[in-house]
Every structure is written in structure tokens, then in C-alpha cells.
Structure 1
Amino acid sequence: MMKENLIKQLITLIEPIVTKLNYELYHLEFVKEGGENYLRIYIDDEKGIGLDDCEKVSRTISDMLDEVDPIEESYYLEVSSPGIDRELHNDKHFERYINSEVEIKLSSLFNGSKKYEGVLIGFNNDSINIENDGKQIDIPREKINKVKLKVEF
């Protein structure tokens, strides 16, 4: 619960900065990996995100975080693009990518599988709806671990 409150506080602090710099705050996470803490901020823009964009946002956010100091533990700040194979985290993301190919990984079996691929055709509070080989599959949200855009090269 404390981590959830920290995330909400960080979003409240960071989103106006990202917006003022003319980017979208796509996602934010505070995670522990290999014994180190990481504050990862994913920004987006219709024109794409480059290294200069990440540096500009990182500097501005770093200055604010040094001043406000909302995180008690030591951590690394990372700012990046969500990438072309981006994860979809919320309804806003699902809405944006209706009719796109997605990969869905589940935390447990659903109809004999833990992985599904198809075209995202809809969603509601209970499920994510995809179409695969002409069949609609309604996958319960509580079973979903990760939804990503499927990218083929």
C-alpha cells in the first residue's frame, strides 16, 4: 500500500512537468531489481522520443526530486520511450490501440493457455477482448500479467 501511495505521489509531481515539456507521461514505475531501486519514467510524443527528449525530461525531473525528495531510499532515475513493443497498462492505452495486434501473457491458464495473440477489439472492467483467426476471445483481466503491442519486422 505504501508503494501504491508513493506511485500516486510521484505521478502527481511528475506528470505536470512532463506535460509542460510537451510530452505525455505514458507510464511510471518504482521497482527493485538486483538489489537496486529504479524510478522508471516512460514518456511519449506523436513525433517519437529521442535521447535529447529523455535527457531534457530527466534533468528537469531530477532537479524537482532533489528539491522535494519524496523517495526515502536511494534509487536510479531512468527516463525512456515506451518503445514500439510497448506494454499497455491502462484503459487509455487500450483505447488508443484498438485494432492493433497484441500479445497477452497470463498469470495462470485460461482455456488451456497462458499466452494469447490477436487484434485488440475491445475491453471492459472485467476482460480484454481480442480476435484471433476469426474468433473473439474474452480474457479475464484478473488473469492478465502483461499486454504488449505485437511488432513484426
Structure 2
Amino acid sequence: MARQKVTDLVERLVAPVLRENGLELVETEYKKEGANWMLRVFIDRPQGAVDLDDCAKVSESLSILLDESDPIPNAYFLEVSSAGAERPLRKPRDFERAVGKRVYLSFYEPYLGHKEVEGTLLSFVDETLEIEVNDQRLPVLLDKVASARLSIVW
């Protein structure tokens, strides 16, 4: 089964489990690492942190669902974990929730003189981000962003 089909199927299977537990899906990965296939499911809780019990509960439920439907022809390892403090931002709702927070963006090619920026996300409207970098407001078209994530200042 193609990787995209596996991740799509896993996302459909895990959706009800996440809803029941007040969690949301951040990302699903299915890839080969060395000799092993890894199926990773990253979760988050909109109103707070994900803990080990959340990950264990989702992992157990998803494992049962995957065993019942058996959609993946080869052996794999299942990992369910928190998206983490520097979680990726991919979907519009990720950016909407990140308004007011510190973010890191990298671009496909230099954009307005920058290959990457880190600052406070001021707004996200009509596929355009406005980020404050060094006391300057920088408008960024979402289709210019290669990757984005929350950024924690230590």
C-alpha cells in the first residue's frame, strides 16, 4: 500500500478515538527507517498538554483498529506521541492557533531578503501570515513557506 494511502487510512481510523479523548491529530508519518517501517501518529490537546496516558490510550485503541482492518501488508512499529513544544504548523487551523506565538519559518527560496525568519505571528488571513521580526512587520505568503513550526525561546 502506498505511503499516502496508509497515512490517510490511519487518520480516518484514529479520528474517532482522538475526538472521544479531546485530542487532535497533528501529523501522521509512515516511512522506512533502516530495515524497519515506522508508523508515527503525533497528537495534541487544544487546551493543554498531551501526557503519556493520552499517548498510551490512543496507541492501544489504534493498534486494535489496525489489527482488525489489517491495511498495512508489512510489519511496522507504531508510535503515538505528543507533537511537542515546537510542533509543526501545516494546516490553516495550526496557523490560526499560533497567532500571538513565536514561530520559525523557512522558505523555498529567499523571500523579501530572508531564507528563514523567527518572530511573533501577528495574524493569518487569506493565506497570508504577518510576522513581527526585529520590530518589523513582515507579510509572508503561505505558498512561499517550506516549513513552519512553533518556536520556544529558552
TM-score by length of 1: 0.85
Matching residue of 2:72: 71
Which residue does the alignment assign to 2:15?
Answer: 15
Deviation at 1:125, TM superposition (A): 5.2
Q: Indicate yes or no: 2:67 matched with 1:61.
A: no
Q: 1:123: how far off? A: 2.8
Give the AA of the match of 1:137.
Answer: L
Q: Which residue of 1 aligns with 2:90?
A: 89
Cα distance change, pair 131–29 in 1 and its aligned pair in 2 (3 A): same
Worse-matched range after superposition: 109-118 or 52-61: 109-118
How many equivalent pairs are there?
A: 152
How far is the alpha carbon of 1:19 from its aligned partner?
Answer: 1.4
Indicate how the Cα distance of structure 1 residues 22 and 127 shifts in structure 2: closer, same or farther if over 3 A, else same.
closer
- Contact 2:3 2:31 (8 Å CA) reproduced: no
Q: 1:95 to 1:61 in 2, by over 3 A?
A: same
Shift of 1:58: 0.6
Q: 8 Å contact 1:102–1:147 — kept in the other structure?
A: yes
CA separation of 1:120 and 1:77: change in aligned 2, threshold 3 A: same
Q: What RMSD, in angstroms, separates the aligned Cα atoms of the two structures? A: 2.0
1:93–1:126 distance in 2 versus 1, CA, 3 Å: closer
* One-letter amino acid of the counterpart of residue 17, structure 1: V
**CA distance in structure 1 between the partners assigned to 2:123 and 2:40 by the alignment:** 28
Cα offset, 1:126, TM superposition = 4.3
Gaps of 5+ in 2: none
Cα 1:128–1:31, aligned 2, differ >3 Å: closer, same or farther? farther
Per-residue CA deviations over 1:91-123 (Å, capped at 9, x if unaligned) read 111111111110112232223332111111223
Give the alignment's TM-score, normalised by structure 2: 0.85
Q: Which amino acid aligns with 1:67?
A: E
Cα distance in 1 for partners of 2:128, 2:34 equals: 33
Specify whether residues 105 and 34 from structure 1 end up closer, same or farther in structure 2 by C-alpha distance, changes over 3 A only.
farther
Taking the TM superposition and a 5 Å limit, the aligned residue runs for 1:122-133 are 122-124=123-125, 126-133=127-134
Which amino acid counterpart does residue 110 of structure 1 have in structure 2?
Y
Evaluate the alpha carbon distance shift between residue 72 and residue 125 of structure 1 in structure 2; reply closer, same or farther with a 3 A threshold. farther
Structure 1 range deviating more: 67-76 or 28-37: 28-37
Deviation for aligned residue 1:22: 3.1
